[in-house]
């Protein structure tokens, strides 16, 4: 046991003799960013303990640390490191904007830079990235068309144009860009997806082989470092997720395909798995919408439902323009729930009265009525589960949302608000959310009455 302890100490002594700086730099080269972060922080602590260390030298170390945080997608870490830097240069400010999701702010800077240096490939790539992440795909295509590309720069920028083409359903442009791809090499994943979509559109069964080739290329890129953690393997897992989605949707034309209800339940669960990865969700939803537009088993309402999910995600991510654009597409496809999402966007933008009026007008015009049971028809104990399911959830949502907004505005009598809550319950009696908010409103009334002097309470 003593001999083994001695051996362990010798190994530890050997490892500790390797400078933390060297280990960190080599870890970055191997894309083992977690290890690089650990050793670089250790190196910074060593340097800070030296009283002779110049503050400017420490700043350069913090900048390197910030670069490592950039690779592991840690916006909080980037902002935390920024607090140690005395003066943030413009590149560091742009980095913060990008990692915090403030793409429009970063886009403005890159546009100014592009005017000064129009042939700078890094500026071009960064601008296209900002346009892609902010959902400005039409603008991206126009920008790509105005850029001067060479044989060296085209392979780097072409994936942006290919993705924007199928996201915006500009299939002719997609064919044009695919014709410009390199004829040799493995190829870019995004270009491969675009090629598979073009084959699906042409009813060419070779799309199955293209998907298999893409999956094989992803598998070849898996290494011990790339699967050491979820963060490290995120890119590969996302690509495999995309390919599985493509197979799932295209299999709907086969005889062994699942029912529509089963398919959409599966799609909902797969989207929920992505958690808070907004950009991944947007990509998956764009892909679903593109395939649904191409295949006959799906209809316009299926496509519209995807647009509404995109709008909700964009609204929650504060991408207002992208959210309004998605709602407009859903409305053009005659999806009545687009009115509710449009009203939500108005409310979020601070147009509270207009949001309430929009919802009231839609309800008054019976915009959701075609799916309803008769308003006077209520559920009985003998109603089947199927009858209960047919109640219009959409109308109930509209009434509940209207009641909550009127309650929040505080300019409507309590009796009217209670009636609105009851309307939501009537259209979907088993919807717990409507009962919850009605109870919450009653609790608020009770608290306000308790606060009044004795004898001044209202008779409820």
| Domain finish residue from 52, 73, 99 | 99
Tell whether 401 is covered by a domain: yes
Q: How confident is the model at residue 221 (pLDDT cuts 50, 70, 90)?
A: confident
Tell whether 236 is covered by a domain: no
Decide which of 7 and 71 is more confident.
7
In this predicted structure, the answer to whether residue 345 has a pLDDT above a threshold of 80 is yes
- The whole-number pLDDT of residue 352 equals 93
Helices then strands, each counted (H, E), the chain: 24, 0
In this predicted structure, the answer to whether residue 311 has a pLDDT above a threshold of 50 is yes
* Whether 327 contacts 308, CB under 8 Å: yes
- The whole-number pLDDT of residue 38 equals 82
Distance CA 343, CA 359 (A): 6
Q: What's the structural domain count of the chain?
A: 2
Distance CA 129, CA 156 (A): 11
Tell whether 161 is covered by a domain: no
| Domain finish residue from 99, 114, 147 | 99
pLDDT digit string, tens, across residues 355-402: 999 999 988 888 775 444 433 344 344 444 444 444 478 889 999 999
CATH code assigned at 452: 1.25.40
| Domain finish residue from 99, 125, 141 | 99
Range of the domain at 36: 2-99
pLDDT digit string, tens, across residues 114-160: 988 888 898 999 999 999 988 899 999 999 998 888 888 888 899 99
Tell whether 169 is covered by a domain: no
Tell whether 302 is covered by a domain: no
pLDDT digit string, tens, across residues 262-299: 999 999 999 999 988 888 999 999 999 999 999 988 99
Q: What's the whole-number mean pLDDT along residues 252-260?
A: 80
CA atoms lying within 13 Å on the CB side of residue 120: 13
High-pLDDT (> 70) share of the chain, %: 84
Tell whether 373 is covered by a domain: yes
Joined tokens for residue 56: 């400017």
DSSP 328-352: HHHHHTT-TTHHHHHHHHHHHTT-H
Q: What's the whole-number mean pLDDT along residues 148-176?
A: 91
Element housing 294 (H / E):
helix 278-294
Cβ contacts of residue 250 below 8 Å, gap of 6+?
200, 207, 208, 291, 295
Distance CA 80, CA 37 (A): 14
Q: What's the whole-number mean pLDDT along residues 200-210?
A: 92
Q: What is the pTM of this model?
A: 0.77
Distance CA 173, CA 161 (A): 9
pLDDT digit string, tens, across residues 411-459: 788 899 999 999 999 988 888 999 999 999 999 988 888 877 776 666 5
Helices within 83-206 (DSSP H only):
90-99, 103-116, 121-133, 137-146, 154-167, 171-178, 189-201
Tell whether 342 is covered by a domain: yes
**What is the three-class DSSP state of 83?**
coil
Tell whether 131 is covered by a domain: no
* Whether 286 contacts 167, CB under 8 Å: yes
Cβ contacts of residue 378 below 8 Å, gap of 6+?
426, 429
Q: How confident is the model at residue 74 (pLDDT cuts 50, 70, 90)?
A: low
- Count the residues in the chain: 460
* Whether 64 contacts 40, CB under 8 Å: yes
């Amino acid at each position: 046991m003593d001999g083994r302890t001695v051996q362990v100490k010798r190994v530890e002594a050997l490892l500790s003799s390797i400078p933390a700086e060297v280990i960190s730099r080599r870890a970055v080269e191997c894309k083992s960013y977690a290890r690089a972060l650990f050793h670089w922080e250790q190196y910074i602590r060593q340097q800070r303990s030296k009283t002779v260390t110049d503050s400017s030298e420490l700043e350069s170390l913090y900048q390197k640390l910030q670069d490592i945080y950039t690779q592991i997608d840690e916006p909080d870490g980037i902002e935390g490191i920024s607090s140690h830097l005395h003066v943030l240069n413009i590149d560091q400010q742009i980095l913060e904007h990008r990692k915090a999701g403030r793409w429009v702010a970063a886009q403005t800077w890159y546009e100014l830079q592009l005017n000064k240096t129009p042939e700078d490939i890094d500026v071009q790539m960064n601008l296209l990235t900002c346009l892609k992440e902010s959902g400005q795909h039409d603008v991206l295509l126009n920008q790509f068309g105005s850029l001067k590309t060479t044989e060296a720069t085209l392979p780097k920028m072409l994936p942006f144009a290919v993705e924007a083409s199928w996201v915006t359903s500009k299939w002719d442009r997609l064919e044009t860009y695919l014709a410009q791809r390199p004829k040799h090499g493995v190829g870019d994943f995004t270009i491969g997806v675009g090629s598979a979509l073009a084959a699906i559109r042409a009813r060419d069964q070779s799309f199955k082989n293209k998907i298999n080739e893409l999956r094989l290329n992803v598998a070849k890129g898996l290494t011990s470092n790339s699967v050491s953690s979820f963060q490290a393997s995120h890119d590969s897992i996302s690509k495999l997720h995309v390919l599985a989605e493509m197979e799932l949707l295209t299999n709907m034309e086969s005889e062994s395909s699942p029912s529509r209800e089963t398919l959409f339940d599966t799609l909902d669960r797969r989207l929920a798995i992505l958690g808070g990865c907004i950009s991944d969700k947007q990509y998956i939803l764009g892909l679903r919408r593109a395939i649904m537009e191409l295949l006959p088993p799906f209809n316009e309402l299926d496509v519209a439902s995807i647009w509404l999910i995109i709008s909700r995600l964009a609204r929650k991510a504060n991408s207002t323009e992208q959210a309004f654009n998605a709602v407009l597409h859903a409305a053009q496809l005659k999806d009545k729930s687009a009115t509710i999402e449009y009203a939500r966007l108005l409310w979020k933008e601070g147009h509270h009265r207009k949001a309430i009026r929009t919802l009231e007008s839609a309800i008054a015009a019976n915009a959701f009525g075609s799916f309803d049971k008769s308003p006077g028809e209520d559920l009985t104990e003998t109603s089947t589960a199927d009858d209960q399911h047919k109640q219009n959830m959409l109308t109930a949502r509209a009434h509940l949302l209207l009641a909550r907004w009127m309650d929040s505005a505080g300019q409507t009598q309590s009796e009217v608000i209670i009636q609105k809550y009851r309307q939501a319950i009537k259209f979907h009696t088993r919807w717990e959310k409507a009962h919850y908010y009605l109870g919450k409103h009653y609790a608020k009334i009770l608290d306000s009455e308790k606060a009044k002097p004795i004898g001044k309470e209202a008779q409820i």
